[in-house]
């Protein structure tokens, strides 16, 4: 890197890439030298950060573009979800990795706004770079940004409107706003009510303060379209019943459901071995004993009253064989195999059954119950699934069966529905709504600008720069919508200065309108979390003055 010079009134400072090569001439001030050197090193590791934000900036908003990601194994992902895009990127710079973690934190806290939080962080870092160039110390910038972030939360809280969780249509509006920027936005009229109903049916709207999304199981099924997605008040198994050669039942009413974790096959030793049998009589005796052993297992299962049997998937050896399926079919027991270990807890909470690890423990008190267990062919395809409805504990869990014409659409619908569920969860955690379309960021920008005029010294410059950085959201919305960003943001600022707090950018009509009338709303928690997490990350980065590589041992 070529040397460059800073010219001051009484000194000339020559800074190269290495600290040891820095030379000071003409008797300069030590504080001034340190600050200039600090600015140089911070700029070095700041250069890579706005590039990460710019990579996903075009995906923000309803008119944002999607990204096609090709992974190393050849798999292709099409999405505009910020957390997904950043999660798939190969990022090597430690500071850039912090932005990736920032997006993940937003996804955990709010579930939505994963693109906005990184775009905000990138804009704040640009503002910090300008402040450093003016000679303001990084610690002063970090402290001022923290104070501005707290003030921004007060402004957002003041402009928000309380929401009643029983107002279903209002919740649907918030979910539709979230889905408007997704690939499956044209299916939001189907997905939004499903997401709202799924959450409302597993909580008490009056007392709930959080939602465990593990109580909502999403099952993906290829075939049909996203419009065929449905909400099932029970359990959906991805595969049909395993009927075997004897053809077992496919519909059971007043079901008694058992879940087993042992094997319905002949016992084997723990180590690899081969048994050579040369005598036909001995061979017949082995087959007869195996048949007797399996029949005894099935008789005990039938004696308990079980008529629907769930068999957990095994990686050690065969969890079942054709002979056991034959006996179970003859005794009119419906069999569902390949149950994943991760689904056992969900099944247990839904049906009230207990997983059984040994046949001697398979007793009637371990069984769950359901009104109907039936195998159905999903519309738009030939694949079969098993639906369990009329469960013992209605309202404790829900299942969503997602459909899609191809794998790419199916995966994106899954991610979009997760974001939709997170939006409803955000409203449960913090029951306030704010206007979308850049209205919140514009209002905070104006509020912080006025507040900065009451501050003294360098803090006033820092707060004003923080406020200015928030305008990147309405600017990007206008830019991605094909509008004139400068004219739109200027008009939006004028309308908010006139007291119209709910006005935002309507990209569909290419104008500025009242977002509450357009029913474009979003949870308060999403914006609060985005501004708080972005400013916290920037403040941490501001206090890093150098990158110290460690030698490999």
Active site residues: 81, 114-115, 419
> Angle, nearest 10°, between helix axes 524-542 and 407-429?
90
| Residue 31 structure tokens | 């504080």
Task: Annotate 355-419 with DSSP letters as a single string.
Answer: EESSGGG--GGG-EEEEEEEEEEPTTSS-EEEEEEEESSTTS-EEEEEEESSHHHHHHHHHHHHH
Alpha carbons 168 and 166: distance in angstroms, whole number:
6
Asked if residue 522 lies in contact with residue 178, where contact means CB atoms within 8 angstroms, the answer is yes
Q: In what order do the strands lie in the sheet with 398-404?
A: 216-222, 398-404, 230-232
Q: Which residues of 37-50 are buried (b: 16+ CB within 10 A; e: fewer)?
A: bebbbbeebbeebb
Across the strands, what pairs with 503? 514
What is the Cα–Cα distance from 442 to 469, expressed in whole angstroms? 10
**Positive or negative CA dihedral for 126, 131, 132, 137?**
negative
Burial class (CB in 10 A: 0-12, 13-18, 19+), 160: buried
The answer to whether the CB of 377 falls within 8 A of the CB of 195 is: no
CB neighbours of residue 227 within 10 Å: 15
In this structure, are strands 216-222 and 398-404 parallel, antiparallel, or unpaired?
Answer: parallel
């Amino acid at each position: 890197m070529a040397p460059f010079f800073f010219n001051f009134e009484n000194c000339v400072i020559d800074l190269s890439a290495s600290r040891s090569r820095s030379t000071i001439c003409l008797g300069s001030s030590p504080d001034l030298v340190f600050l200039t050197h600090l600015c140089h090193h911070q700029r070095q590791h700041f250069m890579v950060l706005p590039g990460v934000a710019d990579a996903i900036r075009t995906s923000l908003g309803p008119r944002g573009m999607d990204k096609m990601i090709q992974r190393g194994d050849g798999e292709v992902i099409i999405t505009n979800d910020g957390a997904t895009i950043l999660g798939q990127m190969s990022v090597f710079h430690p500071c850039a990795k912090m932005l990736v973690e920032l997006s993940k934190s937003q996804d955990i806290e709010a579930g939505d706004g994963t693109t906005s939080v990184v775009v905000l962080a990138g804009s704040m870092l640009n503002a910090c770079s300008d402040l450093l160039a003016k000679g303001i110390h990084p610690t002063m910038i970090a402290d001022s940004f923290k104070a501005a972030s707290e003030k921004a939360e007060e402004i957002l809280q003041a402009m928000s409107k309380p929401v009643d969780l029983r107002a279903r249509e209002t919740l649907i509006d918030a979910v539709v706003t979230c889905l408007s920027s997704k690939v499956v936005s044209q299916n939001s009229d189907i997905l939004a009510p499903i997401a709202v109903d799924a959450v409302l049916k597993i909580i008490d709207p009056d007392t709930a303060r959080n939602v465990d999304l593990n109580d909502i199981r999403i099952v993906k099924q290829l075939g049909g379209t996203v419009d065929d997605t449905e909400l099932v008040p029970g359990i959906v198994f991805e595969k049909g019943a395993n009927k075997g050669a004897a053809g077992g039942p496919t519909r059971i009413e007043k079901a008694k459901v058992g879940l087993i974790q042992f094997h319905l096959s002949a016992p084997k030793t723990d180590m690899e071995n081969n048994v050579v049998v040369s005598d036909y009589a001995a061979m017949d005796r082995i087959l007869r004993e195996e048949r007797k052993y399996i029949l005894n297992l099935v008789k005990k299962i039938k004696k308990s009253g079980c008529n629907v049997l769930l068999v957990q998937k095994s990686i050690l050896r065969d969890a079942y064989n054709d002979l056991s399926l034959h006996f179970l079919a003859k005794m009119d027991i419906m069999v569902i195999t390949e149950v994943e270990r991760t689904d056992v807890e969900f099944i247990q909470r839904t049906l009230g059954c207990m997983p059984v690890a040994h046949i001697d423990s398979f007793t009637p008190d371990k069984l769950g119950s359901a009104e109907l267990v039936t195998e159905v062919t999903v519309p738009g395809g030939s694949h079969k699934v098993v639906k369990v409805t009329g469960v013992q504990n209605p309202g404790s869990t829900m299942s969503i069966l997602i459909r899609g014409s191809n794998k790419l659409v199916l995966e994106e619908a899954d991610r979009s529905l997760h974001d939709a569920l997170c939006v409803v969860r955000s409203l449960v955690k913090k029951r306030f709504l704010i206007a979308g379309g850049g209205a919140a960021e514009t209002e905070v920008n104006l509020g912080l600008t006025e507040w900065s005029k009451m501050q003294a010294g360098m803090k006033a410059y820092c707060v004003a720069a923080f406020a200015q950085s928030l305008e990147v959201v309405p600017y990007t919305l206008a830019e991605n919508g094909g509008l004139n960003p400068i004219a739109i943001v200027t008009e939006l600022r004028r309308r908010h200065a006139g007291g119209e707090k709910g006005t935002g950018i309507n990209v569909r009509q290419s104008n500025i309108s009242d977002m509450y009338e357009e029913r474009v709303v979003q949870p308060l928690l999403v914006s609060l979390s985005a501004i708080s997490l972005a400013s916290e990350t920037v403040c941490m980065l501001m206090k890093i003055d150098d990158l110290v590589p460690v030698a490999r041992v």
